[in-house]
Amino acid sequence: MSRIHSISTPTCFPIGKVGERLPRIYPRESYLAKLRPFYDSDIIKVITGIRRCGKSCLLLTVMDELRTRGVQEESIVYLNLDKRSLRHVKTADDLDAEIERRMPESGMRYLFIDEVQNVEGFEPVVNGWREEGDVSIFLTGSNSYLLSGELVTKLTGRYIEFEMFTLDFGEWLDMRDFLGAEPHASRREDLEEYLTFGGFPKALELADGDAKQAYVRDVIAQIIEKDIKRRVKIRNMDVFERVLTYVVNNFGAPINSANIAEHFNNVERLPLRRETVARYLSIMESAKIICKCRRFDMKSRRSLGSQEKYYLSDIGIYRLTLPEALDTQELEALAASLQADEIVVAELAPGDIGVHGLVDQVGGLVVQLHDHQLPDGRQPAETEV
């Protein structure tokens, strides 16, 4: 997958210079509602999610809401570390100097750092500014390594993570209207397009199907290059990509590292240890390409450790591994079945809902509401979908 020629991939919406009024940005209200109570808090807000899911646009929306509340422009400091003008910011000292240069000396200040994981050792800098007081800090990152270092060990209880996903179907429909796209003849056509190209916000701006698919391919290529190759030592990248393709092709099916290794050893005649597969799966999860759905035993009401299901961070990734032509009814039926399972997960994942695979060879899902109790104090029961 990584051998894909890059296309031009500007941010989801044009970004003006500091002080300019920005074009309207589609508001991801479900995420904004979770962030608003923390706008003025000294708790560090960490927004994670797959690349191009809309994290930067979410920050810009928060910044615009702060301006609407009367916050002065000079009190808002925004650093997008993926931008060419900030490519020189590689060390903690570089980052601190850039913040110092922009930060006013007094008053309530708001610091936004996009793709903060680009700077090695950023944690002490972020913590230092938090300790200074009157600074509300927002960070974004495209992989789980952001939360695996000093940020966790030194800032326990001082940060909160908001995991962001690509557009669910409801958001996709809403954003399509927001952009003024020509309506489809039926809701079925809407659903077919969503299942084909997924929910990456930028893809909605592209009218041509080939361009949409090329864009999603480029996103995955960037993930492999920036979030995997540059951060993790993988001895044989070709084998990793073959395992990735296998996992993508089998999303929603009960699998584990042992039976994946067995497939490669016995079917593809490729020697592969279970421990290696387990590490590959962990890397894919950390890069936000896939998410794990654990099996759930309804009788004991607890998760089981084997035969997990893995779902894609965006359904559009699935089509990248399919044949060019989908002519047979059998293949289309399989795709529809798997995608229906995936779309349920896509709808539930952004909320306070846990999704579990159902045991006893049943291909359904069980959902469980987290952190919500019934009036008498009991936890709500699971629901099969």
Instruction: Name the helix (H) or strand (E) containing 237.
Output: helix 237-249
What single-letter DSSP state applies at residue 225? Answer: I
Confidence of residue 158 (pLDDT cuts 50, 70, 90): confident
pLDDT of residue 76: 97
What are the pLDDT digits (tens) for 316-375? Answer: 888 766 544 444 454 454 445 445 555 555 555 565 544 433 333 334 444 443 333 333
Residue 180: other Cβ atoms inside 10 A: 6
% of the chain at pLDDT higher than 90: 45
Token pair of 357 as six digits: 């695979």
Confidence of residue 77 (pLDDT cuts 50, 70, 90): very high
pLDDT of residue 344: 56
Handedness of CA 80, 218, 171, 204 (dihedral sign): positive
Cα angle: 306, vertex 310, 314; to 5 degrees: 170
What single-letter DSSP state applies at residue 184? Answer: P
Contacts of 202 (CB under 8 A, 6+ apart): 9, 10, 11, 12, 52, 215
What residue type is 132 in one-letter code? E
Structural contact between residues 298 and 366, judged by C-beta atoms closer than 8 angstroms: yes
pLDDT of residue 104: 95
Average pLDDT over residues 155-161: 80
pLDDT of residue 294: 74
- In the predicted structure, residue 71 carries a pLDDT above the cut 90: yes
**What's the chain's average pLDDT?**
79
Q: How many CA atoms lie within 13 A of 171 on its CB side?
A: 23
Kind of pairing between the strands at 135-141 and 109-114: parallel
Edge-first strand order for the sheet with 76-80 is 76-80, 109-114, 135-141, 44-48, 159-163
More confident residue, 253 or 45: 45
Q: Which residue's structure tokens are 């991801």?
A: 28
Say how far apart CA 278 and CA 222 lie, in whole Å: 23
Length of the chain: 385
pLDDT of residue 117: 86
Say how far apart CA 169 and CA 346 lie, in whole Å: 8
Q: Which stretch of 95-104, 141-150, 327-336 has the lowest confidence by average pLDDT?
A: 327-336
Q: Give the chain's domains with CATH numbers.
A: 29-163 (3.40.50.300), 232-369 (1.10.10.10)
Backbone angles phi, psi at 46, to 5 degrees: -110, 115
